[in-house]
Amino acid sequence: MIGRDDPRLRDRDAIARKLAEAARAAAIVLLQKRAAYEVKLKMDGSPVCTADLAADDAAKAALARLAPGFPVVSEETVESAVPGPVFILLDPLDGTREFLAGGDSYCVAIAVVVDERPVAGAIAAPALGRLWFGGEHAYTQEFGPDGAVSGAARQVEVRALPPEGPRVLVSRFHGGGHSEGVAASLCKGEAVPMSSAVKFGLIASGEADLHVRCGQTMEWDTAAGDAILAAAGGVVLTLDGAVPRYGVAERQFRNPPFVAASSEALARRVIDGDAAACC
């Protein structure tokens, strides 16, 4: 079992880069399997396809090489997972419905969790050719269909709220009345449909400002984005104003409703129901 004092945890940017490498390895597999649907429904009614499973294998193989000894809790093998104080959360295909519909905003998401909080994360969106990762700092980088990166990673941070109002990202396939209502109430703010943890990356790199989710999500959907957004100066809070906890097996790794925002002030205005004050 990996301890809290493991020396690899001292350099969070370094471990985030390793997560990014593993995420890219799985992302290549998703591109290769784009036509390999063979869809089944899991017990919760969500779809799983052969691409999920192949990407899961690829990510785990890369993590075994890059972060040996870290226990991995994956969406596809969660039944056998026993998280300790330090572990990895893996979603090998976040946005399966987007993937199956032929969309672009699906991704691989990987995070290291220490004492119920993500300390490093990576998101690889192969169809967009975008990579986000972060620990102490947040970065973005482009990569090609073969997984090779294009140019150096660039440090990113959240932007100040623009005068015209926030750019609000809403879930393409899992929209809810409350989240869409928040978007509609933000005066001149723009609401953009988007799938998966890509939303966190866009907020972290200053390309959007806000996402609210009231429907069910799982910890592996959000942990990587939480880490990257925090490193970029943003925040994820539950809708009761708390910091999210990860590795909570007694709730079957389900998340409470949450808001992801470019600032704590913006997040708390949404939580307080004072959306008009954001504009």
Q: What is the pLDDT of residues 55-69, one digit of tens each?
A: 999 999 999 999 999
How does DSSP classify residue 215?
A: S
| Residue 34, pLDDT score | 74
Question: What pTM, to 2 d.p., does this model score?
Answer: 0.91
Residue ranges in the chain whose pLDDT is less than 70: 35-49, 79-82, 173-190, 274-279
CATH superfamily label, 7-155: Fructose-1,6-Bisphosphatase, subunit A, domain 1 (3.30.540.10)
Question: What's the chain look like in SS3?
Answer: CCCCCCHHHCCHHHHHHHHHHHHHHHHHHHHHCCCCCCCEECCCCCEECHHHHHHHHHHHHHHHHHCCCCCEEEHHHHHHCCCCCEEEEEEEEECHHHHHCCCCCCEEEEEEEECCEEEEEEEEECCCCEEEEECCCEEEEEECCCCCEEEEEEEECCCCCCCCCCEEEEECCCCCHHHHHHHHHCCCCEEEEECCCHHHHHHHCCCCCEEEECCCCEHHHHHHHHHHHHHCCCEEEECCCCCCCCCCHHHCCECCCEEEECCHHHHHHHHCCCHHHHC
| Residue 132, pLDDT score | 98
CATH topology of domain 167-278: D-Maltodextrin-Binding Protein; domain 2 (3.40.190)
The 10s digit of each residue's pLDDT in 157-209 is 999 999 888 999 988 765 555 555 665 565 455 678 898 999 999 999 999 99
Domain ranges of the chain: 7-155, 167-278
| Residue 176, pLDDT score | 52
